[in-house]
Structure 1
Amino acid sequence: MKSKVICIILLSLSVFIAAQVPTTYAPTSLISVNVTGFVDSPGTYQLSSISRLSDALKLAGTPSPIILEKGPTYIPRLYSSEEKSVSPKDSLFLNFQALRSVKLTRGKETKTYDYMKFVRMGDLEQNPILRDGDVINVGAVHTTVTIVGEVYYPGEYEYIAGDRLSDLLNLAQGFTLSADRKIVNIYRYKENLKDFDLITVDLRTHKPEDIIIYPYDRITINRDTEYRRGWNIIVEGNVKSPGKYYIGDNTTLYDILLLCGGPNSRGDLRNAIYANLPNTEKVDPEFERLKKMDITQMSIIEYHYLQNRLRQFPGRYSIDVSRTWESKGSECNPVLQDGDYLYVPLKMDMVAVTGQVVNPGLIPWVEGKTWDYYVKSAGGYTNNKSFNGVRIIDAQSGNWVRPSSKTVLYPGDTVFVAAKTEYDAWTRFKDIMLITTQIMTIILGIHTLAN
């Protein structure tokens, strides 16, 4: 008896719970739809009765044009986000399917739909619900127009008679933030499809809806370089607040030094590097040529040019930043340029002595002392020192300077003592004998002619 009661209770609970679960939609009936034309897999497909044009195209191998990859000729490559690779066969359909003129035949009536307007603009009228027996035909692109420049989806689009500039802009997802709307260039081919006319439109005074587009037009949207211009200078090294600073037309070096707080207690403004980074990246054809040459093929001036280019910081301004700071901007205070760079190194009151000295290394800098003081502080010369082979490497310019008795050094400078050039005694003897023989031959020749 108890078991029967329990069964009745469980059965009642199951009926009650089932009543609380929402009813699902009844299964829809199937319809047959034919997809033909320029598609990867034409044929007849079974779809639900609530399917749309996009569903049939997807089954037939027409990719969803959601992401556009700009190719070298600006022909749009349209593919769905799931696809990672495209075969050459697929590429043909991706590039040349006429998705703006898809024909749908229902009975005796044929309508044309702009499938791209549904994809890019969400126009549901261009993605109709299908019916049993519908025939979809996708053609190949025969006429195109091109829109490039400052739009989000630049590319080559199928041309539809009656297209306006607004249609192309909508398909390209509109202007980017930096687009220059006052100069829109339309290159319109003449009948020979070789020559063209240039039509310039100011969209501040003309509506895109009023501008008719013709087959093979090429539309370029230029960039407004003054819009939200982000000119900046990068300040690094031993300053109080390093970082990127935006600059205006009249921002000076001293203004930026004030903004970054100036040098910290360890900053060395005298040896600061102030340069323009875009100029450092410019290719120097002469320098590239000399790097590939053998030294023996260079002229003396070419060799010295190569040496100086290797020693000096490219794109560096001839500015003493310490004078800018000390004079509070009254001296050496240029107006900054976009891409400028300021690096303040660590201040080390040292002079480097290297080469043929007893104890090469860093010597504490003493104001007013000449180079020979630092050589003596490094233990003096070794017995392998070259005669007249001392050079001062200026920390600011990178130049090698032959010192005089009055040459004063500054922190960061380097004293370089060259070694003797080693010669092979036998080779030198042969060279001397060869030159002597040639001189004697010339003298004998002159003597013979004189007699």
Structure 2
Amino acid sequence: MVFKKTERSPMRIAFFLLFVVISNIFASFNLENQFNNLGSSSIKTESLKQNFLSEPLESLINPDEYTLGPGDGIYLNIVTANQIVNLNLFISPIGDILIPVVGTVFVNGLTINEGFSAIRDKCLDKYNDSNISITLSKIKDFKIQVLGPFKESGVYISNPVSRVSDVYEQILRFNNEASISDSSILSLKKILSRRNIILERDSRTYPVDILKFSITGEEELNPFLQSGDKIFFDLLDKNITITGGVKAPGVYEYVEGETVSSMIELAGGFTYDAIDQQIEISRFIDTDLRSEMISKENFNTMILNAQDLINVKVKNNYKKHKLVEIKGEVLNPGFYSVEEGKTTVRDIIDKAGGYSSLADRNKISIMNSTSFDEKSDLDNESTFLYRKEFHDYIHKSYEINELNQLIPINAYGEMQVKKILDYNVYDGYFIEIPKNFPFIEISGAIKYPGLYPFSKDKSLNQYLRDAGGITESETNDIYIIKRGSGQRINYKNIDKLDSGDIIYIVQKINLDKKTKLENSIMIANGITSTLSFIISLIVLLGGFN
């Protein structure tokens, strides 16, 4: 018998491959149905959207400390050979968690690691060849009691990642919102205690000190909250005052059992200039005030009483720089440290690099800068003063006087400046070296007012002749105004002119006819009013009878 080799057509091969693919699809579908038929039909094979934590955290949650309870969310991922299951689950009010197909697991009161281990073991009992992944997807909320002598006390919603201080802020926020609409509500911002807070948990009480926690960071002073907590807040009453050489002197709320050492820590510790070997405590014994010095070795054992006052003495001017500022025509203007009573004006000029090429070495101004702080820069002030327009001589004199009152020392001329250079300087002094101004300004009742080149050999009369001579003047009063300080001197009391001086000739004030008429009418009205008053007074007193 002869057998012929048959050839498979491409069409047959294609049908065979298609049959294999369809068979696999139906097989997978049947396996999924079998898994669903094993338990609740609510199990899904598709990926579910995870719930992420919405609470702001101080740090990562410690899985060995955080205890699971009703409301906590758990994200569960089960991977088998042919199945992926993702579930968002929540712990029930009775403390267990229901896993479809697998069953219930009691996790209330367990830590995260303990609870996850129990869930994993339960799932592996059902699917021993599966890979189990678990994470915390939501933090539970719970209610706590807030007690105290204020309207905002009551039941608050909180969570395990909130501290007592968070409840404190909630109280203040609710109080502020209520006081906006009702002004009769007492503001708690300055009177709600931060240090005498009591936390009750599992029939035990714990002291809470939010202020001290903010400084030391001790966890037990401001613990995280748990379900069933009660918090007792009080209002401010007793206090302790600390003054002197501490970084944050002030009035602090009193806590029973407080020591000198802990109070100094609360006030930020000693300053660099504090005398830290002993402190003084002023204390009321009944109504009598007594003081006692406490040495450093007793700081940790000395218990404070309410209303005590702690005084930490400081070393006077200890390592504090005394500064003098020099400005104007020196090479390096600025602030320089001085030794009061020893450093001289000459020393400061030398420290500043000496005079500049534009300096007027025959002029110098010194003042205490604490008073000048209220004014603008001296150079700008003087420049403004001599460029502005004045209504009359009285107006100009007033403006000059106002500036002059700020300057205690002004020296002009070689002899005066030489004496000033040997003066001692003190903290806060301000030294001004003016720029050389080689002109004389002439203004007022003069024919040609303006600036004229300075010459030390010229007299006052020569300058007046150069300016065309005096015009109309009521008194022929002539004043020399010192540039920079504004000091005015009658020409009879000055020996010679200096560069930058202003010669001012008092002008005659001419009134026009209208002004004279108005003045006459005002005078007549004044006389009439006075006579009427006198006559009325005489009649009232019966003077004509």
Does residue 170 (structure 1) correspond to residue 265 (structure 2)? The answer is yes
**CA deviation after TM superposition for structure 1 residue 345, in Å:** 1.8
- Structure 2 vs 1, CA of residues 307 and 37 (structure 1 numbering), >3 Å: closer, same or farther? closer
Distance in 2 (alpha carbons) for counterparts of 1:90 and 1:232:
51
Distance 1:391 1:190, change over 3 A: same
Contact 1:319–1:332, Cα closer than 8 Å, also in 2: no
Q: Residues 106 and 133 of structure 1 are in contact (CA less than 8 Å); yes or no, is this contact kept in structure 2?
A: yes
**Residue 450 of structure 2 is aligned with which of 355, 361, 382?**
361
Answer yes or no: is 1:229 the counterpart of 2:340: no
Q: Does 1:335 align with 2:424?
A: yes
Residue 287 (structure 2) pairs with residue 199 (structure 1): no
Instruction: Find the partner of 1:260 among 349, 352, 356.
Output: 352
- Corresponding residue for 1:34? 145
When normalised by structure 1's length, the TM-score is 0.68
After TM superposition, give the deviation of residue 207 of structure 1 in Å. Answer: 5.0
2:156 is the alignment partner of 1:53: no
Residue in 1 that maps onto 2:496: 408
Query: 1:223 deviation in Å?
Result: 5.0
Aligned pairs for 1:12-411 within 5 A: 24-38=135-149, 41-61=152-172, 92-181=187-276, 184-192=279-287, 195-201=288-294, 205-221=296-312, 224-249=315-340, 250-278=342-370, 310=402, 312-317=404-409, 319=411, 332-382=421-471, 384-395=472-483, 398-403=487-492, 407-411=495-499
* C-alpha distance in structure 2 between counterparts of 1:34 and 1:113, whole Å: 15
Quick one: structure 1 residues 365 and 37, their matched pair in 2 at CA, closer, same or farther if it must change by over 3 Å?
A: same
Equivalent AA in structure 1 for residue 335 of structure 2: K
* CA–CA distance in structure 2, aligned partners of residues 146 and 40 of structure 1: 30
Residues in 2 aligned to 1:24 and 1:419: alpha-carbon distance in whole angstroms: 95
Pair 1:171–1:267, CA change in 2 (3 A) = same
Residue identity in the other structure for 2:156:
Y
* Greater mean deviation of Cα atoms: 164-173 or 139-148: 139-148
SS at match of 1:272: strand
**Pair 1:210–1:318, CA change in 2 (3 A):** farther
Contact 1:272 1:321 in 2 (8 A): no
| Aligned-partner SS, 1:368 | coil
* Matched position secondary structure for 1:173: coil
What letter is aligned with 1:216? Q
Whether the 8 Å contact between 2:479 and 2:488 is mirrored in structure 1 is no
Structure 1 residue 320: Cα displacement: 5.6
- Cα 1:182–1:309 change in 2 (3 A) is farther
Corresponding residue SS for 1:34 = strand
Alpha-carbon distance in structure 2 between the residues aligned to 1:335 and 1:412:
27
Q: Does the CA contact (< 8 Å) of 1:275 and 1:315 recur in 2? A: yes
1:200-230: CA deviations, max 9, x gaps?
A: 45x6x55532433111112244554413312
TM-score by length of structure 2 reads: 0.57
| SS at 1:93 equivalent | coil
Q: Return the alpha-carbon distance in structure 2 between the equivalents of residues 127 and 219 of structure 1.
A: 27
* C-alpha displacement of 1:181: 3.7
Amino acid at match of 1:393: I
- Which runs of 5 or more structure 1 residues have no equivalent in the other structure? 64-78, 80-84, 283-304, 429-451
Work out which of the two has the higher radius of gyration on C-alpha atoms and give 1 or 2: 2
Tell me if the contact between 1:40 and 1:61 (Cα under 8 Å) persists in the aligned partners: no
AA at the equivalent of 2:504 = F
Q: One-letter code of the match for 2:330?
A: V
In 2: Cα distance, 1:323 partner to 1:40 partner:
78
Kindly indicate whether the alpha-carbon contact (under 8 Å) linking 2:146 and 2:153 is maintained by their aligned counterparts in 1: yes
CA distance in 2, matches of 1:58, 1:188: 34
Contact 2:438 2:499 (8 Å CA) reproduced = yes
What is the CA RMSD across the aligned residues, in angstroms?
A: 4.2
> Which secondary structure does the structure 1 equivalent of 2:492 belong to?
coil
Secondary structure (helix, strand or coil) at the match of 2:158 reads strand
Letter in 2 for 1:344: I
Q: How many aligned positions are there?
A: 368
Give a deviation string over 1:321-370, Cα, whole Å, max 9, x none: 95588x6xx87411210111111222111111111111011111112211
Residue identity opposite 1:271 in structure 2: K
Query: Counterpart amino acid of 1:146?
Result: T
